[in-house]
């Protein structure tokens, strides 16, 4: 995917929806694109997380102790909780089919969010929605 295609893909994701083209270009340079085959575990429950991931194509299953708890798809992200809390992931994240993501190394997440507070706010909104939904499911 060339830079223009990556910028266009980013512009279509709600997480980056408030950014202008110059900021999207910076994001495109900051994140690395990665691909995973079906069945590949990207994050492992109980082991150190390696980064922040934004899904461009495909889906992942979020599994806790082998039980599927959620499915994430295009525009969703994962890995942020373990990085922000400095703890190992509490779930496995496994590609359910071919998966293409943008990846940001763990040490870079804080600086990225400080440079892009609108992305941080959108991330906070998404995490709040997840928490609300988890509370509904638990009732």
Q: What is the pTM of this model?
A: 0.90
Helices 117-138 and 106-115: angle between axes, nearest 10 degrees: 110
The number of distinct structural domains making up the chain is 1
Domain that holds residue 13: 3-138
Q: What is the pLDDT along the chain (139 residues), one digit of tens a residue?
A: 777 888 999 999 999 989 999 999 999 999 999 999 999 999 999 998 789 999 999 999 999 998 999 999 999 999 998 998 889 999 999 999 999 999 999 889 999 999 999 999 999 999 898 888 877 755 4
For residues 49-76, one letter each, b for 16 or more C-beta atoms within 10 angstroms of the residue's C-beta and e for the rest, the string is bbbbbbbbebbbbbbeeeeeebebeebb
CATH, residue 78: 2.60.120.10
First to last CA, the chain: 43
């Amino acid at each position: 995917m060339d830079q223009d295609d990556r910028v266009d893909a980013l512009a279509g994701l709600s997480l980056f929806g408030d950014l202008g083209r110059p900021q999207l270009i910076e994001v495109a340079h900051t994140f690395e694109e990665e691909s995973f085959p079906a069945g590949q575990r990207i994050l492992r429950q109980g082991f150190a997380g390696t980064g922040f991931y934004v899904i461009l194509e495909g889906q992942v299953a979020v599994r806790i102790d082998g039980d599927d708890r959620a499915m994430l798809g295009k525009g969703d992200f994962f890995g942020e909780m373990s990085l922000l809390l400095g703890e190992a992931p509490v779930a496995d994240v496994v590609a359910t089919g071919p998966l293409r993501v943008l990846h940001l190394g763990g040490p870079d997440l804080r600086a990225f969010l400080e440079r892009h507070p609108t992305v941080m706010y959108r991330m906070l909104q998404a995490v709040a929605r997840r928490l609300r939904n988890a509370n509904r499911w638990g009732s």
